[in-house]
């Protein structure tokens, strides 16, 4: 019987089952990995439903106003074609409606840009929060696994000491009858 068999026997006598311990550690690692992978899906966003509704209403109001101005421009062109409006009034009203349409289009572009920035900042904030949580959980898991390893090392040392003590006792008890 070699020293490796003796160490395995002493570990088994101390209640330490290596394959079972490795299986438990692997199971915990799999569950932890699944948790990290699925936790971002369960997070809630920072922008409320009311906020999105408000932004959508503002956009719809601008779009409706833009559509009305474009329709008025078409009506103006139709009236000019029917000679219901003189050239001077036509150019003044056309310029007014075109400026209003451009202002509305610029407002829509600005709003779209603002929405894109809000979405990007929300996505970045969510990613950063997830990274922070992941780092904190990883640090916690590393300290927990260090504790487990430390406890397992302590139990192995204790089992080894018990085995050494038993071996000494056996060798002492074998020598005593020889002295008697």
Q: What is the dihedral of CA 138, 139, 140, 142, to 10 degrees?
A: 80
Q: Is 118 within a domain?
A: yes
**Residue in 65, 57, 66 with CA at minimum distance from that of residue 115:** 57
* Residue 169 is assigned to a structural domain of this protein: no
Instruction: Tell me, yes or no, whether 180 lies in a domain.
Output: no
At 29 the pLDDT is: 92
Of 165, 162, 155, the closest CA to residue 17 belongs to 155
Q: Is the pTM of this model over 0.75?
A: no
- Which of 117, 163, 180 lies closest to 9, judged by CA? 163
CB count, 10 Å around CB of 97? 19
77 belongs to a structural domain:
yes
CATH number at residue 87: 1.10.287
Residue 79 within any structural domain of the chain? yes
Q: Which residues of the chain have pLDDT under 70?
A: 1-16, 40-48, 144-146, 148-150, 152, 154-157, 159-180
pLDDT for res 120: 85
Any domain includes 68: yes
CA atoms within 13 A on the CB side of 36: 15
Could you list the residue range(s) of the whole structural domain that residue 82 is in? 48-129
Instruction: Confirm whether 174 is domain-assigned.
Output: no
Residue 165, in any domain of the structure: no
pLDDT at residue number 103: 92
How many folded domains does the chain comprise? 1
């Amino acid at each position: 019987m070699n020293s490796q068999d003796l160490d395995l026997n002493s570990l088994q006598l101390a209640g330490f089952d290596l394959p079972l311990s490795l299986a438990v550690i692997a199971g915990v690692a799999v569950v932890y990995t699944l948790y990290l992978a699925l936790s971002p899906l369960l997070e809630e966003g920072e922008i409320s439903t009311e906020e999105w509704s408000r932004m959508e209403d503002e956009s719809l109001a601008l779009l409706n106003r833009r559509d009305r101005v474009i329709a008025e421009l078409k009506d103006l062109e139709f009236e000019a074609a029917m000679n219901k409006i003189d050239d001077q009034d036509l150019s003044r009203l056309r310029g007014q409606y075109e400026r209003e349409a451009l202002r509305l289009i610029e407002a829509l572009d600005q709003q779209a840009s603002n929405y894109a920035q809000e979405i990007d900042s929300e996505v970045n904030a969510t990613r950063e929060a997830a990274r922070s949580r992941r780092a904190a959980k990883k640090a916690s898991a590393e300290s927990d696994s260090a504790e487990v390893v430390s406890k397992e090392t302590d139990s192995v040392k204790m089992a080894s000491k018990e085995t050494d003590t038993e071996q000494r006792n056996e060798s002492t008890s074998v020598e005593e009858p020889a002295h008697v």
